[in-house]
Structures are given as structure tokens and as C-alpha cells.
Amino acid sequence: MNCPYCSREMEKGLIQSPNEIAWIKGDKRKLFAKADLHPDSVVLSELSLIKGSAVVAYRCISCCKVIIDYGDEASDLNNR
């Protein structure tokens, strides 16, 4: 995948967590970050009590950006 900012090749990897991984609207940290408690949130990886959560991500070494394609269901490793 090429970086949408600089067009250089991106490195494929994972973002992992022992908790659910979610994007939550706003610019302030939430005390309870569980996505279903917040309107307009997007679950990036469902929680598995055995495996935790993991989502495929691409890193641009040049721009220091990380891209997650949450429209691709295969990016949530717990959906596989």
C-alpha cells in the first residue's frame, strides 16, 4: 500500500490491545472508552477474551502516519 500523504510504500503490521480497539469521536479522552457507550464511534477490532484485539495497519516511516482500513472487514483479525 502506498502512503496517501507522500506516495511512498507503507509497511504492513498490526495494532494490538488487550481491550477493544475503537475510534471515538471528539478530542478529549473518555473515562469509559467502550465504543457502544459513545454515539458515532467505530469498532476497529472486537474484543476476544482469549486473543485480545488486533487490527491490520500500515505505517509510513517517512510521514509517521498509521492507516487502518476499517471498511475492510478482514482488517479486524477477530473477524477472520
Computed over its alpha carbons, how large is the radius of gyration of the chain? 14
pLDDT higher than 90, residue 34: no
- pLDDT score recorded for residue 32: 67
pLDDT for 25 equals 85
Report pTM. 0.82
The rounded distance, in Å, linking the Cα atoms of 15 and 29 is 19
Q: What is the pLDDT of residue 73?
A: 84
Q: How confident is the model at residue 47 (pLDDT cuts 50, 70, 90)?
A: confident
Residue 4, pLDDT > 90, answer: yes
Compute the distance between CA of residue 54 and CA of residue 43 in angstroms, rounded to an integer: 11
More confident residue, 9 or 28: 9
